[in-house]
Chain A
Amino acid sequence: MIVLLIYVAIFAGAYFLVKLLVHRGTRDFTARKTVTFGDESAVRPNRIASVVSVLSIFLLWGAFTGSAWVPGVLHAPGPFTGDAQFTYTATADGVDPDDATVTIRVFAAGTQSDPPPVDPGTGWARNDSDAIAAWRSGLVRVDRNDDLGRDAGHRVIAINGQLIAPGKEVLTDFGRIGMSPKGTLNVEPAKGWQMEPIWLPPPEAVVARMIDIARNGYRDSTLWEHLGWSLFRVVAGFFFGALAGIPLGYAMGLSDWFRGWFDPIVEFMRPVPPLALIPLVIIWAGIGETGKIILLFLAALWIMAIAARSGVSGVSISKVHAAYSLGASKAQIMRHVIIPNSLPDIFTGARVAMGVCWGTVVAAELVAAEKGAGMMIMVASKFQLTDIVIMGIILIGVIGFGIDMLMRAAERALVPWRGKG
């Protein structure tokens, strides 16, 4: 909730700051438009906002994980670390209440520390010490080293002079001290607002982990092998899907028999999410490469068939008529009119199919695989290696985005006539 509020504050603050500081040139035509609210074409992404948006995500991530990349002043309050002391007052049968000091050493997560040595002090209640990792809490049996134990009626009645009873708590300057129903003290040093690395590691830990896995690998494969296998499966599945789907789509667009025969199959298979086919594919083809490629083939097949079919139906009849009137044969019309006319639709289909395949391969690897990006993050999550999981998600996103950019570039280069007909 606090994070959301900070995020909204950054959003609004950056807006006003940018509006105040940056005066956009009024050189181009759109800048001269007076009506922009409601004119969609006048709304162009403000690139400053994009940059600030990405930066603020990393800033928040760093600030709430105590990242070394973010200056210390911007860090959210971290967990308490260091030595802290509190006194307790205990009573026992037949003696006066006595005070003693407890020294707690709170050490950084992931390190080890022994309780600090303390002088036992005077009186029947002795001074204690203990060590607790940051973000953790510890039960401190203060009666263990005292002269009178629980069998002699040892009871803690106050902390730092404030009364305490089982189920109650006392707040100190370094954290909370509670009492269990049986009377044991539960010391809980302040956790601060930062996330614990096992839930959310700082960005530099993710980068370090990426470098480590790129060099040394994870689960017997390097990072590149994991990503490479995922990509290979996508490309192979998409290739076969397109190889079968495009001719099928053309046949459905050109022949009533094909259209009638495959319509029910395609219309049925199209709404079935490829993920729903994973169990069946595993039963039939196992969890090896064959199964994965069959799954991706099925994911791409229907999309490509429908794209090719709509490419054929999208050809304007006057172009076909014109070609016939110019003496073209059926084969020539196919080659020179129908195929080029359907290419924009096929490219759109290919872009969708690649996206679906990429999502499907990751999901399939989550279920079962020996290598692959999805397998990597699934296994890592079982060992609570959050840094690998986050790294994997980022890489999967970057690759998916990269695939889409590549397809768009290919489309611009190969079908410049898209939308110009």
Chain B
Amino acid sequence: MSRIEGVLKALKGQGRKALIPYITAGDPHPDLTVDLMHTLVSAGADIIELGVPFSDPMADGPVIQQACERALVHGTSLRQVLGMVKTFREKDNATPVVLMGYLNPMEAMGQEKFADAAVEAGVDGILTVDLPPEEADEVAPLFTARNLDAIFLLAPTTTDDRIRAISEHSSGYVYYVSFKGVTGAGKIDVDEVASKVSHIHELTALPVGVGFGIRDAETAAAVGRVSDGVIVGSVLVDTIARNQADPDQLKRALSDLLHPMREALDSLAS
């Protein structure tokens, strides 16, 4: 059983929902990322999605675009991001880490080399935004062989046939993108998400995490009620941007944002 599967199974056993925060590695500075990851865990994170900065983040809105630019100013490379996970693992061997990013930096390193290095660093899952399962036939076996979870996206536009096919290629969880748009834009329609997620649950046994548009405890609870976990990204990254000058204040601000979400999710526990 992978670390991700283990955590999600344990939560399910307790009737709890997963809180999955996203931050971009290297933002605001590479030296801070590991610290911020520990902060997220202390504030209640069950799994961390760690963004690998890319020069052309096509699926991201301005908030995460700027996070990538801040990280790239300091030359944050995929190799360095793996180093951060390795350092994180020195103090935390329990919290799963999913690398989320775009294909090109991974290809540039070499897929096999990357898969080896990811395992060695203690990464648990890979989510490649611009890699649909149709194009993953060379990469996916490399991940499977190393017990790395391949996490794919589902969208409001995904047909039933594709939901089935994508789920078959996925392990750990599937990530449901709550609306049509880039990260940090748009407004989540909880009723629509509820009906789509319950439909996805009919088509796959995998846990369903929902991301895009979750900005506060209230939405987290509403989405948590109908899914297995919530993914929170842009609002955290925006907080990082606004507090980048003062690391202590930044950590407090992240905690203050995440804590109420944790509590709201746990208040759902039956």
User: Bound pair: A and B?
Assistant: no
